[in-house]
Amino acid sequence: MYYFGQFGLDRKDQHVGLANQQYSSQSASDFAQTRFVHHSLPELKLEDVSLATSVASLDFAHPFFINAMTGGSERTGKINQMLGILGCFGKIPLASGSVSAAIKDPSVAETFSVMRRENPHGIIFANLGAHHDVDNAKRAVDLLEANAIQIHVNAPQEIVMPEGDRDFSMWLKNIEILVRELDVPVIAKEVGFGMSRETVAKLASVGVQTVDISGTGGTDFAKIENARRAFHDYDYLEGWGQSTVVSLVEVMSLPADRRPQVIASGGIKNPLDIVKALALGADLVGMSNHFLQFVKDGKADRLEEAMQAIDRYQTQIAEIMTMLGAKTVADLRKTDLILAPAVQNWCQARGIDWTAYARRSAEK
Ligand code: FNR
C-alpha cells in the first residue's frame, strides 16, 4: 500500500479528503448560464414521461448513476460498501474507483468486491487506467463481476501527481486492444478535464462505442494532486481542461455516424444539471463528488437521505421534462437551449454553430 503526503494517509484516502474539501453544491457556471427557452404549452402529462435510457448495451431505468471514485484502503472500502448498499436499495448504477490498487496488492481486493457483494444484481462498472493490459482489465472485471469497464484517461492528473506516469504514448493503441479483447463494453473516460471532438474521434476510430467526457466544473484532479505536492508548485494548472458543457458541444459536433454514445459527468449537482446534460446530447449522466457527500465517512447514517435524494431526482427530472414537453430522453435533444456566453465563445473559435441549439424545436 502507498503512504504519501503530509498526513501519512493512503493516496486514495487523500483523494477522498481533498475532493470533499473542494465540493460545492452550486451548479458549475457553464451549466448555470446555459438556459432552456421556456415554452408555455408543453402538451404533455407527467405520467407519460419515460426516463429510460440505454448505454453500452445496458438498459438504465433512470438517466443518472454514481460515477467512479474509490477503493484500495480500509476507509475507502467502507465507502464502497456504502455505495454498494446505495446501489442495491437505491437502485442506482455504480462505478468503482480504479481497481489498479487491487491489481498491485490483492490484499485490498475486498475493498472493491464489497461493492458487488452488497449489490449482487445492480449495474456496476469497473475502472482502470489506460496503460493496463488485457489480463489486468479482465481481473478488474472479474473482481466486480462488472457489466462494463471504464478505462480512464487522466494525463493532467498523472503530470501533477508526484508519483504519476509520464508516458502516454501507448494509450490509444492499448485502448484499441482492450476494446477488441474484452467481453464487456469499454467506456473511455476522462476524470474531470473534459474531451475534445478530436479525442472522441480518435477513440471512435479504434472501436470505442461509449465515452464519458467528464469535464471541468466539479472535482479538479489537478488541484487535488497539487495539494498532495510538498510545494504545491503546480497551482497554475488548476482548472485545466474543458467544461462538461463545452465537451458535450464538442462531441456533438461530430457527424452522428462517427459519434460514440456519450456519458456526461463533471460538476453535476442537481436534476436541472442532469436534464441540461441530456439535452446537450448525453445518453447518461454520472455524479461522483455529489454522492460522495452522503458516504464519505464510510457510515450508514446518511444512506436513507441519499436514497430519498435519488427518488427525488427521478421525480424532478420527469417534472422538468414535462415542462419541456420531452416525453423521452431523446426528445430532450429537440429542446431549445441558449448556451452560456463562455460556451458561445468557445464554439465561435471552434467553428461550432451554437445558435442551432436555440432553434431545435422548430425543426421537430
Ligand atoms: C474520482 N474520479 C475517478 N475517476 C476514475 O476514472 N477513476 C478513479 O479512480 C477516480 N477516483 C476518484 C476519486 C474521487 C474521490 C473522486 C471525487 C473522483 C473522477 C470522477 O469519476 C469524475 O470523473 C470526476 O470527479 C468529475 O465528476 P464530479 O466529481 O465533479 O461529479
List pLDDT tens digits, range 88-140.
999 999 999 999 999 999 999 999 999 999 999 999 999 999 999 999 999 99
Band of pLDDT at residue 218, cut at 50, 70 and 90: very high
Cα 118 to averaged position of ligand 1 atoms, centre (Å): 21
**Residues 25-79: pLDDT tens digits?**
999 999 999 999 999 999 999 999 999 999 999 999 999 999 999 999 999 999 9
* Cα separations in angstroms, 295 against 172, 288, 337, 341: 34, 11, 34, 35
Give the separation between CA 209 and CA 183, rounded to whole angstroms: 14
* Joined grid coordinates for residue 202: 480518435
Kindly list the structural domains of the chain, giving each domain's residue range(s) and its CATH number in brackets, ordered by start.
Answer: 4-363 (3.20.20.70)
The alpha carbon of 305 and the centre of ligand 1 are apart by a number of angstroms equal to 22
| Residue 267 CB–ligand 1 contact under 6 Å | yes
Best mutation site among 104, 263, 289 for ligand 1 pocket (most ligand atoms within 8 Å of CB):
289
Is the CB of 287 within 6 Å of ligand 1?
A: yes
The pLDDT of residue 213 is above 70? yes
State if residue 127 touches ligand 1 by the CB under 6 angstroms criterion.
yes
Ligand 1 neighbour 71 (Cβ under 6 A) = no
Any idea what DSSP says for residue 266? S
| Pair 173, 167: CB distance under 8 Å | no
| Pocket flag, ligand 1, residue 268 (CB < 6 Å) | yes
pLDDT score for 3: 33
Residue whose CA is at the smallest distance from ligand 1 atom 2: 69
Q: Which pLDDT does position 8 carry in this prediction?
A: 52
4, pLDDT greater than 60: no
Q: What whole-number percentage of the chain has pLDDT above 70? A: 98
What sign for the dihedral angle of Cα 346, 36, 266, 149?
Answer: negative
Cβ neighbourhood burial of 351 (10 Å; 0-12, 13-18, 19+): exposed
168-203 tens-digit pLDDT: 999 999 999 999 999 999 999 999 999 999 999 999
Q: Mean pLDDT score of the chain, rounded to an integer? A: 97
**CB distance 209 to 306 below 8 Å:** no
The model carries a pTM of: 0.97
Q: What are the helix (H) ranges across the chain?
A: 11-22, 29-32, 74-89, 100-104, 110-118, 134-144, 155-160, 171-181, 197-205, 221-227, 244-252, 271-279, 289-295, 303-324, 341-350
CA distances for 14 relative to 8, 224, 296, angstroms: 9, 9, 12
350 burial (CB, 10 Å; 0-12 / 13-18 / 19+) is middle
pLDDT higher than threshold 60 for residue 7: no
pLDDT value at 205 more than 80: yes
